Each structure stands twice: as C-alpha cells, then as structure tokens.
Amino acid sequence: MTTRRKFLTSAALAAPATLAAPSILRAQEPIRWRFQTYAGAALGEHVTKPIVDYINKNANGELEIELYNADQLVPTGELFQALQRGTIDAVHSDDDSMASPTPLRVFGGYFPFATKSILDVPVLFNQYGLADIWREEYDKVGVQWLSSAGQDPCNFNTKKEITSLADLEGLRLYTFPTAGRFLQQFGVVPVNIPYEDAEVAVQTGELDGMAWSGITEDYTVGWADVTDYFLTNNISGAWIGSFFVNKDRWAELPEHLKSVVMAGIEAGHFYRNQWYWGGEARLRATGDKLALRTVPAAEWKTVEDAAVKFWDEIAQESETHQKVVDIFRQYNQVINAAGAPYTFD
C-alpha cells in the first residue's frame, strides 16, 4: 500500500506537466527587403537576379527580397540617398552611378586603366586592402558595404566607325561620370540619361553610342541592335561595383541570414566572372551585329598616358583618394612586371 500510495502521489504531481497543452509554434513574418540594381531588366537577369534568387531560395522563408531594376523605384543617381534613408533596403551599383557621397565615388564604375581584367577587382579588394577602405568609408555615412566584384571592360559601341583618336571628337556617348570626365579631353561629350533610355536615344540621334560596357552587355541589352561598331580598345579592364545594405537593416538581420546573403553574393560573383569572360571572347569571335574596329596601340598609348596624369589629379583631392591611387599603382607595377597573361602582352 505504501508503495502504491507513493506511486499515485507522484503521478498526480506529474499530471499537470504531462497533460499540459503543447506549445503552439507561430510562423514568424519574413523579413522583407526592397532591392534595386543599377542594371536594366535584361542585364539584371545576369548580374543581380541570380543573387536575389539564391537568397530567397535558401533563406527558408525568413528573408524575402523583392528586386527592382534600374530607375524603377528611384533614379539611379538617387540610389545612395534612398538607401541611406531606408527607402530601399539594399543596392547593387557602382559608387559613381549612385552618386556616393564618399571619396570612393570616382573609383566606382570605370576608373581609367585601374584594371586590365575582371579578376583584378577581387584581387584588389581582398589582397590589396580596398575592402577595408570601402568598409570604413561607408561605415562613416551609415551604409553597410558588403562586397565588390569586377564585370566587363569599358569599350565603345557606336554608330560611327572609330579607327583613330580623332574619331572620338564630338561623339555624344552614354557613359559613367568619371569615365566621361576623363574622356572629355579627347572631345567626347558625356551624356547622362536613364539607363533604359539609352537605346532609344541612339535611335533618335541624341546619342552616338555608349562607353559603358563590353560586348557582352551590348548584345544582351539590345545596344548591338542600334549601333554598328565595337572598339576593341578600352579605357578600363573591369567595372567595379558593390553590394550595399542599409546599416540598420543589416544590423537587424540574424547571423545565419547574413551568411545566406553573403553566400548568394559570392555565388553571383562566380557566375558573372565566367558569363562576362566567356561572352567577351565568344561575341568578338562570332557575333554578327557589331563590326570590330581598333585604334593602333601606339596611338592608344596617348589615352593610357593621359590616365597616369588623371590618377595624379585624383590623388591630390584627398587622403583617401591618395591611398586608393597608391594601391592601383602598386598593383599595376606587379602585373606589369609579371607580364602575360596579366598584362595581355
């Protein structure tokens, strides 16, 4: 009886815990971001959408990103302000196009002859210290810089045939602010219009062409359909662009979701590396829409020499400018000493 009494008492005490209703797990609302890219819809399919798709697929419903293409929410030139205010949560752009208020603005997009190929960009950021500079400068203005990577070179696709520097005189070209500033000394007239308007502007005669991309983009976005010639000379070997997030939105994100975002960005870098590198070769060799033209190397050296002076001018503008230019100089000395394939000699 004693043993039976103890058993019944113990069972009675345990009953509330045993019979308590199971806790109800409520589904948490996903974190939602609005993300705008500098690229139009056709190009965005390759340069930004794969990253957003990766994140949405692997965030397990905890983070949902809605992607907007160039100028859909705000004009590209207002991207930074919108990001800073929180109107947009994340951005893929170069510093130059989005009117970054940092000293780094002139180095985004195409800084003349800073790079020779797409892989130069991750090397400069990860091995030569640009990542630390970008992170620090954007931290000062309340924006989280996440990562940078290279894309295509800056060539020219035009209605007019270019075979000498004299042919650049008077050309109205859609280009980046810093690239335009550099090219003005050769008679180029830089034109700033919304990205998606560039194709029509060539058709109406407002533009003579673009100094915006390599040949892969020309075919992808339709510019090869409205221009006739592609100049194989370039003023920079790779576009420098970054992924940015509003600082508060990034701080609110759990660590495991930050890892998903970074993994998506890195996967996107890998995809763009091969997409552009392969596209540039294939379309130069087999493309049937743009006739290739080249300014002789001896004459184009005038442009390269002008870039050296341009670097000196930029370096004098601030301590940060000097620091970045010094890194470009150091890296160029290394690849020039290394020779082919780093300098394509």
How does pLDDT run across 171-229, given as a tens digit for each residue?
999 999 999 999 999 999 999 999 999 999 999 999 999 999 999 999 999 999 999 99
Asked if residue 122 and residue 242 are part of one domain, the reply reads: yes
Q: Do the domain assignments include residue 318?
A: no
pLDDT at 27 over 90: no
Mean pLDDT of the chain: 93
Residue-level pLDDT at 344 = 77
Q: Is residue 219 part of a domain?
A: yes
Q: What is the CATH number of the domain that holds 141?
A: 3.40.190.170
- For 302-325, write each residue's pLDDT tens digit: 999 999 999 999 999 999 999 999
Of the pLDDT bands very low, low, confident and very high (cuts 50, 70, 90), residue 245 is very high
Q: Do 175 and 306 sit in the same domain of this protein? A: yes
Answer yes or no: is 321 within a domain: no
Q: How far apart are CA 25 and CA 162, in angstroms?
A: 67
Instruction: Give 66's strand partners.
Output: 34
- 250 pLDDT more than 60: yes
Segment 112-125 shows an average pLDDT of: 97
The yes-or-no verdict on residue 129 having pLDDT over 70 is: yes
Total structural domains within the chain: 2
Buried b (16+ CB within 10 A) or exposed e, 89-108: bbbbbbbbbbbbbbbbbbbb
One domain, residues 127 and 252: yes
Return the closest-CA partner of residue 210 out of 277, 110, 120, 302: 110
C-alpha dist (Å) from residue 232 to 60, 118, 180, 292: 45, 16, 18, 7
Q: Is residue 103 part of a domain?
A: yes
Percentage of the residues of the chain whose pLDDT score is greater than 70:
92
